[in-house]
Amino acid sequence: MLEVYVPATSANIGPGYDCLGLCLDLFNKFTFEELESGLQFEGCDEAFANEDNLVYKTMLFFYDKIKPKKIPKGIKISFENNIPICRGLGSSSTCIVAGLMAANVLSEANLDKDEILKLAIELEGHPDNVAPAIYGNMIIAFMEDGNLYHESIKVPEEIRFLAMVPDFELSTEKARAVLPKEIPHKHGVFNVSRCALLIAAFTKNNLDLVKAACKDKFHQDYRSHLINNYDDIVAYANSLDSLGTFLSGAGPTIMTLAKDGDNEILYKMKSYLAALPDNWQILDLHCDPNGAYYKEV
């Protein structure tokens, strides 16, 4: 039996649209058990307990692409879901990474992390969730002419990531549909400067720069109207002594940053959100430095 643990991720991190992502210390657990034949599921919604299951389809993609000599005749996949679904915390990416890692181990293909990441990007379309899920920390990554380029940015350990999660879903497809086909040149310059500043702020542990560096002209303004009370929540979070606030992935989760020990921001945000509709909850998280891993049990 094989257990695969894949973390939540927060993509874009403000200005890092489709190239910057962060690994968080909240994990989904997937258990794979080889069978003599057939396909079984446990712990997932009945609607997804079939051959269209994303984890299973990802495993088939791996086998078709890599063509390993050993392929399990049957498989049972069990799910322990801790990451909110369709909330901008990389839940679908956990399924892709889990499927690839499990197929790699069970088939004894022995692909390395870069090879796994290339396959994940082929499935996901962009690296900002799958890269940090595989490698941990904050990752800047992109593909060019079939070549993978990525580097890790160590996030200061004293930062806590307060993920404000509502009880409604927002699909990535819907969130992408509201984005413009083209952007003004000045918006490109705006985002390049903020993205560079954000990476420098974390690298140099200059947290006073993070709030300004979280600003964005590529996606957050366009997606804000899809999220109830978005502008009010962001304005209130930024009015506190938070380090910065940004939309997590495509949303609807909103992320605000604080220092360890600064519980006042957490308490005030909880009180503020409790007065709003949509049953907002706060997940108190930290950056995970290691990413996905597996155990053979």
> Which residues carry a binding-site annotation?
84-94
| Helix/strand/coil for 280 | coil
CA distances (Å), origin 2, targets 34, 42, 85, 104, 297? 9, 14, 23, 11, 6
In whole angstroms, give the CA distance from residue 183 to residue 99.
36
Task: Indicate the helix (H) or strand (E) that contains 29.
Answer: strand 20-35
| Helix/strand/coil for 64 | helix
Q: Is there a contact between 114 and 143 (Cβ–Cβ < 8 Å)?
A: no
Q: Is there a contact between 220 and 17 (Cβ–Cβ < 8 Å)?
A: no
In whole angstroms, give the CA distance from residue 199 to residue 106.
37
Please report, as a single letter, which amino acid is at residue 225.
H
In whole angstroms, give the CA distance from residue 78 to residue 30.
6
Binding residues for ATP, as ranges, are: 84-94
